[in-house]
Amino acid sequence: MAAEGQQHPLKVYWLMWGALFVLSAFSYATDFMDDGAVRTFLILLFMMLKASGIVAIFMHMQWERPALKIAILGPPVAILVLIWLMSYEGLYVEDTRVEYYGESTFEPQAPPHH
């Protein structure tokens, strides 16, 4: 008696491959944009979409149980939240320092040439 397994249709993989191709083209198109917040946002957006698609389809996460999804995806999400909180705190500390002590007047000097 043969072991019964789950077989995913190849169409799913071909569609994901096509989506990755299109997202990569959009990602490369951002190289022609001016530097700024919009370009950075688009680069990160396309990166996250591609990574999510790869994890969902090619790493078979889409077909896993919810508990396993949370166990695998929960820690990276928690780390991202903590990084965001640290950056938010850094802005608060900088703003408070400027409010109480004023702007820095320090101007670095070039090292002496020998």
- The reported pLDDT for the residue numbered 6 is 67
**What is the pTM assigned to this prediction?**
0.62
C-alpha dihedral sign at 77, 26, 62, 54: negative
The DSSP output letter for 112 is P
- CA gap 88, 82 in Å, rounded: 10
Report phi then psi at 71, rounded to 5: -65, -35
Write the pLDDT tens digit of every residue in 76-98.
899 999 999 999 898 888 888 88
The 10 Å Cβ neighbour count of residue 57 is: 19
Write the pLDDT tens digit of every residue in 39-79.
999 999 999 999 989 988 888 888 888 888 888 888 989 99
- The reported pLDDT for the residue numbered 78 is 94
